Every structure is written in structure tokens, then in C-alpha cells.
Structure 1
């Protein structure tokens, strides 16, 4: 049976969710499909390219309606929640998406939609990019913490008094960052380090 690129990605997502990122190998995916590992290289030049495709698929599956009709700050909240939910839906989702993003792989950067939303708020491009990157790193870190706690909890490694991160702490952290962003007047953004207006 001939498998398409999309079939390989779909099976890889299943392997990720069932076994975790550490066991997402070309050999395991090929075995699941009844193929030799070398057959996968007809579709993907390397494991890194496959991981990028899996990350893109996770983000695609989590995509919702466009945010361009929302106010800039409401769009930022919606985009961050969408990213969080997409990664939480799969085991080690945050680790995979964050790793792919760090290496500049994949076609779906979570930064771009946030920059666009901030741009609609009138913020300068350099500030919008810095704020978007900060937001993305917050989402990556929070979801990674959530997934670590979920996995530890599943094997009984957490006590009853352990505080679990969740939607409440996510919303609070997000609001703290947004409050800081709102303090900057669009078009008059100050350089945080020098105190001078950005050019």
C-alpha cells in the first residue's frame, strides 16, 4: 500500500499522543505503517522535517475562526488560548511545538498572528514582535508546566496539596502581560532598556 505524506503525518500525531515525543522515531512510525524506515524519507528528508510537519498539523487542527474582526487585545487572548488548547490536546504538544519554533522549522509560526493583532492596535512593528514573542514564550512555558503536572499526576507522583497550573493561572498570566502591553502608547513605544522612544 502506498502512503501519502498526510498519512505519515497523521500516524506520527497518533504515535506522539500515545507514546510521547521521546518515542516519536522514524523507525516506530514506519513500523506502525508496516514500512521500512527508509520509505519515510521519500516524503521527509529528515526526522526534523517530519517533526515540523507534525507541529504544523497540531496547530492546524487547533485553528478556529479568524480573529481579524476582534479588537486587538481580544484577538491576542483568542490566539493565545487557541495555541494553548492545540498543544494541550496532544501529549508533549508544548515540547514539540516549542522545539520546532525554536529551530525556525514548520510553516505555522504562532508569532505572526499575534504581530498582526498587535499591529491592528497601532503598535510599532518592533514592539509588536517583541510583545508577540513574549506572549508565545509564556504560552509555551505554561502549557509545558501543565503537561508536566498532568503526566506526573497520571502516575501518582503529585500530592493532594500540589497546586496544578490550569486555565485560571493561564488567564491571570496572560492578563498581566497584556496590562503591560497596554501601558505603551501606540506609536510612542519606549525602549525598555534605554527609556528612549523606539525608532
Structure 2
């Protein structure tokens, strides 16, 4: 096969942006790459494993540092850059695929429980934001201009609780 795993992931991310996760399939990916669907399984064992690679690529450029608020905002922004990016990361998180290094680094700077809580909050809020954007873009609901403020408020509540418990 002429494609490498990196090619498969790059093409999959482009298709995800074009079609969304609901319409993403291994058959569509294979057609885009010009190969038989079975050829994809030389690179990944399953669609879930591919989603883990997509999630790793989505969060891969996010710097985790001692500015936990900034780290969480950067994670949110990275997911917002890819259509259904938060859903991909949520799936990978549930299956424990592709983002364990990110979570481990965040845990090192906070604690395992705080890192897990932050990850669930950031991914969940971002997933709700992306769903809201899609629905408002179709005219099904009015746009909510307060999504960023809502995110920041919830993040502040979690971090204040962590500070209080740690202090």
C-alpha cells in the first residue's frame, strides 16, 4: 500500500471536516485514498483505533503547562478547529485511545482525578458547543453568543474547587 498511517490520518481528518463523524466511514476513507477498504486494516485494526489516532492528532499540538486554565482553553480550541473534533476525542477518551499522554501530563500538573474531571468537562462542553453551532447554522435554534463565557465560568468553578480541596 502506498499510503502511510500518517496519510490515512490526514485524509481521515479532512473527510471528518467535510462530512462529519456521522457520515464518516472506512469505505469513504478507502475510496478517498484509492484503495480497497481492507487495505486500511494494514494500518489500523478498527475504526475505533483510527478514531484514537484522529484524537491524538487533534490534541497533539496542545501544550500542557502549569497554566491549567490556558491548557484547557487550548484543548477546547484544538477540538473546535475540527468538525466533530470533540466527539472524536470523547470517543477516544471513552475507549482510552489516543489521548492518554495528554491526560497523563495534565495529571502530573494537577492530579489524576482533577485531570479526568477537566478532560470530561472540556470535551463535554466543546461537544455541546459544536452541536449548538451545527444546529444554529441550520437555523434550528438561535445562536448563543455566551458559549465562551459559559465555558470559562465552568472551568473557573472546577479549578476553584480543586484549589479549595488542595489548599
TM-score under structure 2 length normalisation? 0.92
**Partner Cα separation in structure 2 for residue 26 and residue 95 of structure 1:** 17
After TM superposition, the structure 1 = structure 2 runs for residues 54-133 of structure 1, keeping only pairs within 5 Å, are 54-60=54-60, 62-64=61-63, 67=65, 70=66, 75-118=67-110, 128-133=111-116
**Partner Cα separation in structure 2 for residue 13 and residue 163 of structure 1:** 27
Q: What root-mean-square deviation, in Å, do the aligned CA atoms of Structure 1 and Structure 2 show?
A: 1.7
Distance 1:168 1:107, change over 3 A: closer
Structure 2: runs of 5 or more not aligned = none
Matched, 1:143 2:161: no
Deviation at 1:58, TM superposition (A): 1.0
Distance 1:53 1:158, change over 3 A: same
Poorly superposed stretches of 4+, deviation over 6 Å: none
Q: Is the 8 A contact 1:59 1:108 kept in 2?
A: no
Larger Rg: 1
**Partner Cα separation in structure 2 for residue 172 and residue 107 of structure 1:** 25
Structure 1: runs of 5 or more not aligned = 119-127, 187-199
**Partner Cα separation in structure 1 for residue 100 and residue 161 of structure 2:** 26
Distance 1:105 1:140, change over 3 A: same
Equivalent pairs counted in the alignment come to 167
